[in-house]
């Protein structure tokens, strides 16, 4: 960080040579002494950017300018030029932190960068230089080249804004989490102006993924014990399978939901519905049967949506996706999209698997310890203990299969209850939009 000493007179600054050399560092500015001011002879170091108005120059003195930030917007006059140029201040940041601010001319030309550390960089043509203040300057007058720069919107930004203007959150004043609540979805479909309804284009449909809550989407799997088809029953009918973590003696084990191999998780092109939220370019789309999908708006000039719901005769079949996991129901209960009691019942079934696996481990551990207490050789002990562990790891999934089936049945019960609600919502939508 380039430091200058701020005292009562600029002459003393030059005399004591407290203006630092060019370059950039991370040295923090000195803290105030707490005394009233320089009347008491206190020298307070400041950064280059903390001077409200000053003349700045490059190390070789070939580029110089006066920067005036005594009032907003900032103004600059380059040495040898008559024009006073008004600057537009634009934040520059990495994803997680601010780097500083760019200062742009009215035509968008980048003239300065001021870092969060107080360093100042000037841009001339294709070159850029770090500068230091070298002398006092008077505030500049009104800008002769005035106006705040407004960046032209990209095609994607324009498309995103257009989509956002059709969102349920914007137009119907609903909450983002209401997209998980079928009662709220039914209300939105019943009250939304017809111009709010849209259909997914092939580009939008291919990007969208089944996302029953939050932003955790299900993706089509290319692996698994079996391939999904329409003849499946039970939990597999809806594309799901329960998978445990690695079965290893003594290791904790929970089941989680994965999609079956080749189970499609994107809706069909032409699927009608409502844009619920637009966060940046992340869209939550809710179909006319209460299905919920999330996706990033596609790049390029191809839109994700067509206006209007279209003719009901052209709609794809309802209930394209219904898959839920225990975690889904747990999260949905938090926003009252599913009864809290339903989530508790599924949590209890999930705990049944956990307890069953742990019982197998407990028995195997006891058997291994019994072997260790015998007078057999270490080799025999090791062989028997390894056999007990291997048998337990083989037997655990079989022994606990009923607990796994109970979870699947519980999830199917919730899915089917919601599907009945969704079918009713869909029929009302058809009647309204035909």
Q: b or e along 247-263 (b: 16 or more beta carbons within 10 Å of the residue's beta carbon)?
A: bebeeebebebbbbbeb
Residue 257 tokens, joined = 């939901």
Cα–Cα dist 108/98, whole Å: 20
Question: 117 phi and psi, to 5 degrees?
Answer: -85, -5
CA dist list (Å): 406 to 134, 251, 352: 78, 22, 9
CB environment 51-83: b (16+ within 10 A), e (fewer) = bebbbbbbeeeebbbbbbbeeeebbbbbeeeee
Closest CA to 51 of 16, 15, 2, 91: 2
What is the distance, to the nearest Å, from the Cα of residue 76 to the centroid of all Cα atoms in its chain? 38
Task: Point out the residues of the chain with pLDDT beneath 50.
Answer: 1-3, 5-36
Angle between helix 340-372 and helix 326-334 axes, rounded to 10 deg: 140
Closest C-alpha among 301, 237, 226, 295 to residue 261: 226
Nearest to 73 by CA among 51, 103, 93: 103
Specify the pLDDT at position 7: 41
Paired residues of 434 in beta bridges: none
Question: What is the pLDDT, as a whole number, of residue 316?
Answer: 97
Question: What is the predicted pLDDT for the residue at 44?
Answer: 85
Parallel/antiparallel/unpaired status of strands 127-135 and 53-58: antiparallel
Q: What is the DSSP letter of 309?
A: -
Asked if residue 131 lies in contact with residue 121, where contact means CB atoms within 8 angstroms, the answer is yes
pLDDT in the model for residue 37: 52
Query: What is the structure's pLDDT at 190?
Result: 97
How many Cβ atoms are within 10 Å of 116's Cβ, its own excluded? 15
CB 257 within 8 A of CB 353: no
Burial of 353 (0-12, 13-18, 19+ CB in 10 A): buried
pLDDT at position 39 is: 60
What pLDDT is recorded for position 17?
Answer: 38
């Amino acid at each position: 960080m380039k430091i200058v000493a701020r005292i009562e007179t600029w002459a003393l600054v030059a005399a004591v040579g407290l203006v630092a050399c060019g370059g950039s560092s991370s040295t923090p500015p000195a803290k105030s002494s707490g005394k009233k001011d320089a009347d008491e002879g206190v020298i307070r170091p400041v950064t280059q950017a903390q001077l409200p108005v000053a003349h700045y120059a490059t190390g070789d003195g070939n580029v110089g300018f006066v920067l005036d930030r005594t009032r907003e917007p900032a103004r600059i006059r380059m040495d040898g030029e008559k024009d006073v140029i008004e600057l537009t201040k634009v934040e520059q940041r990495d994803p997680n932190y601010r780097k500083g601010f760019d200062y742009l001319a009215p035509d968008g030309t980048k003239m300065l960068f001021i870092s969060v550390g107080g360093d100042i960089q000037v841009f001339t043509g294709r070159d850029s230089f770090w500068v230091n203040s070298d002398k006092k300057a008077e505030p500049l007058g009104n800008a002769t080249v005035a106006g705040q720069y407004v960046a032209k919107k990209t095609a994607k930004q324009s498309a995103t804004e257009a989509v956002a203007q059709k969102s349920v959150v914007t137009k119907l004043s609903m909450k983002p989490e209401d997209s998980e609540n079928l009662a709220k979805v039914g209300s939105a479909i019943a009250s939304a102006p017809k111009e709010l309804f849209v259909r997914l284009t092939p580009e939008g449909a291919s990007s969208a993924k089944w996302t029953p809550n939050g932003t955790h989407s299900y993706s089509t799997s290319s692996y698994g014990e079996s391939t999904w088809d329409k003849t499946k029953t039970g939990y597999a009918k809806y594309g799901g399978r329960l998978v445990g973590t690695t079965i290893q003696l003594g290791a904790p084990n929970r089941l989680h939901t994965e999609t079956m191999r080749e189970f499609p998780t994107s809706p069909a092109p032409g699927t009608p519905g409502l844009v619920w939220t637009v966060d940046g370019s992340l869209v939550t789309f809710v179909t006319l049967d209460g299905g919920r999908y999330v996706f990033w708006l596609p790049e390029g000039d191809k839109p994700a949506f067509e206006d209007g719901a279209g003719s009901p005769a052209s709609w794809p079949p309802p209930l394209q996706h219904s898959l839920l996991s225990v975690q889904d129901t747990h999260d949905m209960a938090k926003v009252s999209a599913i009864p809290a009691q339903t989530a508790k019942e599924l949590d209890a079934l999930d705990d049944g698997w956990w307890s069953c696996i742990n019982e197998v481990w407990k028995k195997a551990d006891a058997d291994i310890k019994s072997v260790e207490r015998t007078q057999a050789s270490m080799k025999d002990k090791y062989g028997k203990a390894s056999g007990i562990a291997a048998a337990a790891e083989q037997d655990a999934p079989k022994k606990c299969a009923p607990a796994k089936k109970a979870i699947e049945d519980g999830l199917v019960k919730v899915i089917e209850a919601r599907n009945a609600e969704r079918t009713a919502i869909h029929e009302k939508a058809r009647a309204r939009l035909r």
